[in-house]
Amino acid sequence: MKVSFHGQSVVQVQTETHNILIDPFITGNGMCDLEANQVAPDVILLTHGHNDHVGDTIEIAKRNNSLVVAPNELAGYLESRGLNTHPMHIGGAHQFDFGKVKLTPAFHGSAFVDEDGNSVYTGMPAGILLTTEGKTIYHAGDTGLFSDFKLIGDMNDIDLAFLPIGDNFTMGPEDALIAAEWLQAKKVVPVHYNTFPLIEQDGDAFASKVKPGQGIALKPGQEVSL
């Protein structure tokens, strides 16, 4: 399969049978190389309800009849907007036709601001463990460092992990390095940085400090094969 990074926390997973898009913040994301009106995912996975993660989900999912998998309250809100959703919650797993999804804890917030400026509570934020074609991908979502990263690493054989390094709203590089060590992932990619001045970081410097051969600072549009 091909796994690509597209700025902020946007990740695309292309398997033999499905196109899976995670946190599709495309419009308004100056780091993103995608066009919202051109992507055609079968499935959208969401970590939480902040606008820089939900992004273009409503438009994309309606156009493509995509299945949207999200934490329960966020899924409920998106269902009220006419989307085909599957609600989940932290600690729960489900086997889909495209792979297995399990939600993990994430220490952050979660609310969506709609077009009228109303803030809608969208439940607990989460990380995502996606297992498909014999590989496991971990997208931590927005989170600070917490000790369960070690538990997640002990319980899962993670091939590729996406960790936020932007600081201020999430882990910074120093804490993300600790998370990477605990997760024991074969490959680690930094995300959620450089989209805005407040979260500017050096992704290459972070990647160089991960265990040799494990850190990869993907530029928007670059991919890795699993």
User: Whole-angstrom Cα distance, residue 27 to residue 37?
Assistant: 10
The pLDDT assigned to 48 comes to 98
Q: What is the pLDDT of residues 172-212, one digit of tens each?
A: 999 999 999 999 999 999 999 999 999 999 999 999 999 99
* Residue 74 in domain: yes
Assign residue 28 the CATH number of its domain.
3.60.15.10
The pLDDT assigned to 155 comes to 98
* Residue 207 in domain: yes
Number of separate domains in the chain: 1
* Residue 191 in domain: yes
What range does the domain containing 83 cover?
Answer: 2-216
User: Whole-angstrom Cα distance, residue 57 to residue 188?
Assistant: 25
| Dihedral pair phi/psi, residue 78, rounded to 5° | -70, -30
* Residue 60 in domain: yes
* Residue 222 in domain: no
Q: What is the pLDDT of residues 51-93, one digit of tens each?
A: 999 999 999 999 999 999 999 999 999 999 999 999 999 999 9
* Residue 223 in domain: no
User: Whole-angstrom Cα distance, residue 15 to residue 70?
Assistant: 20
**Structure pTM?**
0.98
The pLDDT assigned to 89 comes to 98
* Residue 44 in domain: yes
Per the listing, tokens 């399969």 go with 1
The pLDDT confidence band at residue 121, using thresholds 50, 70 and 90, is: very high
* Residue 224 in domain: no
